[in-house]
Chain A
Amino acid sequence: MTIEAVDLPIDWGETMTAQKETLEEVLNLAASHFKVPRAKLAPDDDFFKTLGIDSLQALDLLTRLENHFRIELPDYELQGVSDFRTLAERIQARL
Chain B
Amino acid sequence: MESFRGQALSWELKHGVVELALHRVPCNEIGSLTLEELEEFVQALDGFEGEAHALIIYSEIKAGFCAGADLRELYRRSQEMGRQDAAQGVRDYLERIHRVLTAIDASPLTTIAAVHGVTFGGGFELALVCDLIIADKMARFCFPELRLGLIPGFGGIPRLKRDLGNAVVRDLLLTGRSFNATKLQQVGLVSQVVAEGEALRIARATATQLGKFDRRTAIAAKKFIKPIPYEELRQEIDVFCELFVQPAVEAGLRRFAESEDAQPYLP
Q: Which residues on A are within 8 Å of B, measured CB to CB?
A: 54-56, 58-60, 62-64, 66-67, 72, 74-79
Contact A75–B180 (Cβ < 8 Å) = no
Chain A proximity mask over B58-90: 1 for CB below 8 Å, otherwise 0: 000001100000000000000000000000000
The stretch of B9-17, B123-131, B215-223, B259-267 in contact with A is B259-267
A22–B183 Cα gap in the complex (Å)? 22
Most chain A C-beta atoms within 10 Å of own C-beta, residue among B118, B176, B183, B266: B266
Contact B138–A63 (Cβ < 8 Å) = yes
A54–B267 Cα gap in the complex (Å)? 12
Contact B175–A74 (Cβ < 8 Å) = yes
Shortest Cβ gap from A57 to chain B (Å): 9
Is B182 in contact with chain A by the CB < 8 A criterion?
Answer: yes
Chain A residues, Cβ within 8 Å of B179: 72
Grouping DSSP codes into helix (H, G, I), strand (E, B) and loop, the B interface class, with mixed when no group exceeds half, is loop
A60–B262 Cα gap in the complex (Å)? 13
Contact B180–A63 (Cβ < 8 Å) = yes
Closest to A64 in B: B138
Chain B residues, Cβ within 8 Å of A64: 138
Contact B117–A60 (Cβ < 8 Å) = yes
Chain A residues, Cβ within 8 Å of B63: 56
A56–B179 Cα gap in the complex (Å)? 14
Contact A74–B138 (Cβ < 8 Å) = no
Chain A residues, Cβ within 8 Å of B138: 60, 63-64, 67
3 nearest CB pairs, A to B? A75-B267, A74-B177, A55-B263
Is B140 in contact with chain A by the CB < 8 A criterion?
Answer: yes
A77–B266 Cα gap in the complex (Å)? 11
Chain B residues, Cβ within 8 Å of A75: 177-178, 266-267
A56–B123 Cα gap in the complex (Å)? 15
Contact B263–A76 (Cβ < 8 Å) = no
Is B137 in contact with chain A by the CB < 8 A criterion?
Answer: yes
Contact B118–A59 (Cβ < 8 Å) = yes
Q: A56-B118, A59-B266 are in contact. Are A76 and B177 (CB under 8 A)?
A: yes
Chain B residues, Cβ within 8 Å of A66: 180, 182
A78–B178 Cα gap in the complex (Å)? 12
Closest to B260 in A: A54
Which residue of B140, B175, B262, B266 contacts A63 across the interface (Cβ within 8 Å)?
A: B140
A77–B183 Cα gap in the complex (Å)? 17
Chain A residues, Cβ within 8 Å of B176: 76
Chain A residues, Cβ within 8 Å of B267: 75-79
Shortest Cβ gap from A69 to chain B (Å): 12
Shortest Cβ gap from A81 to chain B (Å): 9
A15–B66 Cα gap in the complex (Å)? 41
Contact B118–A67 (Cβ < 8 Å) = no
Chain B residues, Cβ within 8 Å of A60: 117, 138
Closest to A70 in B: B182
A67–B139 Cα gap in the complex (Å)? 11
Contact A72–B180 (Cβ < 8 Å) = yes
Closest to A55 in B: B263
Given contacts A72-B183, A78-B267, 20 further A-B contacts (CB under 8 A): A55-B264, A55-B266, A56-B27, A56-B63, A59-B140, A59-B266, A60-B117, A63-B137, A63-B139, A63-B180, A64-B138, A67-B137, A74-B177, A75-B177, A75-B266, A75-B267, A76-B175, A76-B176, A76-B177, A79-B267
